[in-house]
Amino acid sequence: MSHEITNGVLVLADGSVFEGELIGARGIVATGEVVFNTALSGYQEIITDPSYAGQIITFTYPHIGNYGVNVEDAESRSVFARGVVVRDLARRHSNYRAIGDLGSFLTDRGIAGIAGIDTRRLTRLLRSSGAIPGAFGAASEAELLAVARAEPGTDGVDLVSTVTTDAPYFVGDGPRRIVAYDFGIKTTILRHLSGLGTVEVVPAGTSAADVLERRPDGVFLSNGPGDPAVLEPIVDEIRSLIGQVPIFGICLGHQILGRALGAQTVKLPFGHHGGNHPVKDLVTDRIEITSQNHNFAVDPASFTGLGRTVRMTHVNLNDGVCEGLEVVGERCFSVQHHPEAGPGPHDSTYLFDRFSDLIDGRSAGPVDLQEH
């Protein structure tokens, strides 16, 4: 890992300036919507999560890179985040699983980063002002400010098309046949789903007719980046699947399902990004500590007058955001948080068992967490 220091600045669209040292790919100017993640570890999984497409990730934990990087912890084939912001990048990594350091990992993938940033000040600003476009690199403050103000952010932008697979592929084996829509699917999700049966991952634009021709036992709607309101062609296809086959959605998949049912989605001020969000399962009254990564959410106030009975099944105890829904009388449910974690706690992994039960025709009701 190079110890060469190249000074740089992070400039936000509101004119705020943060001085630091450039890391990773240094010959580019990184621009995107700046958000913060509160996880204490799992930086490689976070950076490789396709849901961060269009965004610059700020890590609130001060020391990043301590245990290096490896092949197994990558959540996707590439890095779709626009950049990485940290307080202190570890100069040495130490872990028996490591095959390299984080700085070189970013460099090899053409991802810019900046270290030495006062991430506490930056996070407080984002919490009060909301996620905001920013830019950093070896350019003047004036140039970076202009680039930041020209950045569209994630509102009204289709980012799913930049991360989805180009062609279908299979993962796992087993008698159950599951079709998984790739809106930015994570490797850990596929690991869980492949334990349920044979999974065929299909591009985001796959039609409902093409899915039903595959005669699936269940359909999974994955996580992904960006604004669900611009994905109406996809929403229309998912609408045609409701009532035809068991459906389970996560994160963006949850938002797409909500919109397919006729509900509305809203953008949160700074989103939920981290591994410590308390969520209450309104079916069991249990509290789960969950992994989260999203900027948009389904508005439960829009559940009335949909022609179907839709109820909220989970709620975020920090701010009351809808964390889950189900369609009463249909084999259809979704959650906003990430039951697969990667990184994060595993309190919600029972939801994959609930999907399995739904596929097998058993009740999709409460699952005893003590059994999992």
C-alpha distances in angstroms, 368 versus 45, 192, 324, 351, 372? 29, 18, 18, 11, 7
314 is catalytic: no
- 286/281 Cα distance (integer angstroms): 5
251 is catalytic: yes
Among 192, 254, 294, 338, the active-site one is 338
- 217/174 Cα distance (integer angstroms): 12
338 is catalytic: yes
- Retrieve residue 306's tokens: 């949909």
- Retrieve residue 268's tokens: 């949160």
What are the percentages of helix, strand and coil residues in the chain, rounded to 5? 25, 30, 45
- 300/47 Cα distance (integer angstroms): 30
C-alpha distances in angstroms, 209 versus 33, 161, 355? 36, 20, 22
Helix (H, G, I), strand (E, B) or coil at 328: coil
- 183/19 Cα distance (integer angstroms): 35
With vertex at residue 53, the alpha carbon angle to CA 48 and CA 55, rounded to the nearest 5 degrees, is 105
Among 251, 314, 332, 337, the active-site one is 251
In sequence order, what DSSP letters do the residues of 246-308 get, joined into one string?
A: -EEEETHHHHHHHHHTT-EEEEEEEEEEEEEEEEEETTT--EEEEEEEEEEEEEGGG-TTSSS
Decide if 137 contacts 110 (C-beta within 8 A): no
Among 33, 45, 326, 340, the active-site one is 340
Query: Looking at the annotation, which residues are catalytic?
Result: 251, 338, 340
